[in-house]
Amino acid sequence: MSTKRINALRAGIAAANLDGYIVTDMKQIRYLTGFSGSAGILVIDTKRADFFTDSRYTIQARKEVKGARVNSIKSSALTCLKDFPKLNRRNFRYGFCGEALTVTGSKHLQSTVPDSLLIPADDLVAELGWVKEPEELVSIKKAVEISDTAFERILNLVTPGVRERELAAELEYQMTMLGSEGPAFESIVASGYRSAMPHGVASDKKVRKGDFVTFDFGALVDGYCSDITRTVVVGKADAKQKKIYNIVLKAHLAGIRKIKPGVTGVAVDAACRNLIAKAGYGKYFGHGTGHGISLEVHSGPRLSPLSDNKLKPNNVVTVEPGIYITGWGGVRIEDDVLVTRTGAKPLNRAEKKLLEL
Query: CA-CA distance, 88 to 83, in Å (whole number)?
Result: 9
Q: What is the per-residue pLDDT for 2?
A: 67
Q: What is the per-residue pLDDT for 1?
A: 58
Cα–Cα distance list, 180 to 151, 172, 202, 318 (Å):
13, 9, 20, 19
Phi, psi of 330 (to 5 degrees): -155, 170
Q: What is the per-residue pLDDT for 104?
A: 86
Do 305 and 266 meet the contact criterion of CB atoms below 8 Å apart? yes
Do strands 329-332 and 335-339 pair parallel, antiparallel, or not at all (unpaired)?
A: unpaired
Could you tell me which CATH class the domain 2-126 is placed in? Answer: alpha beta
Query: CA-CA distance, 316 to 292, in Å (whole number)?
Result: 6
Do 325 and 194 meet the contact criterion of CB atoms below 8 Å apart? no
Asked whether the bond before 301 is cis by omega within 30 degrees of 0, the reply is yes
Do 225 and 295 meet the contact criterion of CB atoms below 8 Å apart? yes
Q: What is the per-residue pLDDT for 77?
A: 77
Do strands 93-96 and 117-120 pair parallel, antiparallel, or not at all (unpaired)?
A: parallel
Q: What is the per-residue pLDDT for 3?
A: 82
- Could you say which architecture CATH assigns to the domain 134-346? Alpha-Beta Complex (3.90)
Query: CA-CA distance, 280 to 39, in Å (whole number)?
Result: 49
Residue segments in the chain with a per-residue pLDDT below the cut of 70: 1-2
Q: Same topology for domains 2-126 and 134-346, yes or no?
A: no
Residue ranges per structural domain of the chain:
2-126, 134-346
The SS3 call for residue 80 is helix
CB-hemisphere CA count at 13 Å for 303?
A: 33
Q: What is the per-residue pLDDT for 84?
A: 85
Q: Ramachandran region of residue 57, left (φ > 0), alpha (ψ -120 to 50) or beta?
A: alpha
Angle at 314 between CA 313 and CA 320, to 5 degrees: 100
Q: What is the per-residue pLDDT for 47?
A: 86
Query: CA-CA distance, 268 to 258, in Å (whole number)?
Result: 6
Dump the DSSP string for 160-220: TT-BHHHHHHHHHHHHHHTT-SSBSSPPEEEEGGGGG-TT-B--SPBP-TT-EEEEEE-BE
The pTM is what?
0.93
Of 230, 15, 222, the C-alpha closest to 133 is 222
